[in-house]
Structure 1
Amino acid sequence: MTIATAHCFYVERVRDVTVVCFTVNGLDEDNYEAVSEELLEFVTLVTANGPAQVVVELSPIRRIDELGVAMLHALHDSIAEAGGTTIFCRLSPVVSSAIREAGLLSTFDIRNTRGDAMWSF
C-alpha cells in the first residue's frame, strides 16, 4: 500500500517494512537539493515512532555522482542513528559501481531483489 508520495520517490508500507521507490532516474547535482530535502523529511517521519526497517529500491536510478552516493549514505546513517536498518536493493550497474568506488559495499546492506530485502527483516 502506498502511504506517501514525494516528487522524487513514493513510499509503501509492507508488513512492518517501509519501502522507498525512487521515481527519478538520477541522484546527482541536478536534483540534489530536491531529493535531499525529501529524504530528510522522510527520515524525520519514518523514525518518529522509533526504529524503522527501510528498504530502498534503486532500480530506476541510471545516473549517480558523489552527491547521490552521499545522499544514500546520509539516509543509511540517519536511519541507523535512530536505531533502524536500511537495506538497498535492485541496484543498476552504475549505482553498484558508484557505491563500490565510494568504499561503501561493506557499510551498506545490499540485496538483489526487493523480496530478498523484505525477507531480511
Structure 2
Amino acid sequence: MCLYTSSRVAASVSMFRAYNNSAFTVLFTRSKVAILESPIFHLNTPARLHFDYFVSKGPAKLHFCQDSVMRDLSSCFIISADGETFGWKHDFIEVLPTDRKLYLIARLDGRGRANVQIDNLELTDIMDHSIC
C-alpha cells in the first residue's frame, strides 16, 4: 500500500496489520478502535482513494477522516454504519489537493468483537486511472 502505515492507538491493543495491499484488524471490548493512518502527502490535482471493505463477526463502524492544510481532522465521513457487511463492499472517497493526510478509523459499535478488513486500496485520478 503506497499510502498507509499502521500504528497502535494509545491505550488500545488493536491495530491494523497492513500487508499485500490489504489491512486487517480485530476489535473487541477492551480495544474498540483501530486507525490506519497515511503519511503526509501532497497532491496537485483532485484524486480518489478506492477501497474494498468487509466487516464480520460483529458490529463496527468505519470512518474516513482527512487533514487539510487548514486544520487536522477537517472532515470525517462514515463509510459503514450498518455493522456487519455480509460480504465485500466497494467504495471511494474524494481526495483534494488541500488534503494532507487520511485516516481510516474502525470502531467497535457496542460489545463483543468484530473483524474489519480493507483491501484493494488504490489512489486514482478523477477519471479512475491509477496514480500510485
What is the TM-score when the length of structure 2 is the normalising length?
Answer: 0.33
Q: Give 1 or 2: higher helix fraction.
A: 1
RCO greater where, 1 or 2, for CA within 8 Å and sep 6 or more?
A: 2
Report the structure number with the largest CA radius of gyration. Answer: 2
What is the TM-score when the length of structure 1 is the normalising length?
Answer: 0.34
Q: Give 1 or 2: higher strand fraction.
A: 2
